[in-house]
Amino acid sequence: MRQIVLDTETTGLNPRTGDRVIEIGCVELVNRTLTGNNFHKYINPERESDEAALAVHGLTTEFLSDKPKFAEIAEELRAYIDGAEVIIHNAPFDLGFLNAEFQRLGLPSFVSHCSGVIDTLVNAKEMHPGKRNSLDALCDRYGVSNAHRKLHGALLDSELLADVYLAMTRGQNTLSMDVEVEASAGGIELDALPLGEIIVVSASLEEMAEHENVLAGLDKGVKGECVWRNYSPKV
């Protein structure tokens, strides 16, 4: 199974108004293992970046002026991506730009070269409803260090996303909470004692109503039914 984790940097937010791709970073996974066969290109967009975009990626017009144009790297990108499943965070953004670049050259769409697309932002929202699911937030959640990330960069962000994706999809190896305790050499084994009587205090009707109000607020926040509905009795 060959997967490509991909990210782009662009001159702005909208390819329909002439914004262009200025950096592509790709990281290859084969059978969920990083291979080191990465793809990374800076691209001369033949236009300046918006101030807001420049503040994000820091790639100046002067720096990009001697880099190849997209037409010069398109065939290499097509060969690299061909037949792979592509993993992108907020896929519509990057695919919109890449499809526009391919269309500008009269080539079949970028997505037509891929066997499929995984959007990790969509997956993260399903797994963590109502929480922040930016790449930085996911790095924090899954213990992926991004301390060296001062500005956005396509290759760096692809490397971080690859680690996040592997952590998101690794799954839990065991659901068991059992802990085996071995007596140390020479230790004293104590007799098991009966448990005391368990006292159960049920919630009052007023408390149940207040609980329902909290759940209703959570439902509104996730625009659906929050996960706690599965564990909550109805009032």
Catalytic residue ranges: 152
Rounded CA-CA distance 168/162 in Å is 10
Cα distances from 119 to residues 55, 129, 172, 185, 198, in angstroms, run 25, 15, 21, 54, 48
Rounded CA-CA distance 105/71 in Å is 7
Cα distances from 180 to residues 10, 128, 183, in angstroms, run 54, 32, 10
Q: Is 138 helix (H, G, I), strand (E, B) or coil?
A: helix
Rounded CA-CA distance 4/25 in Å is 10
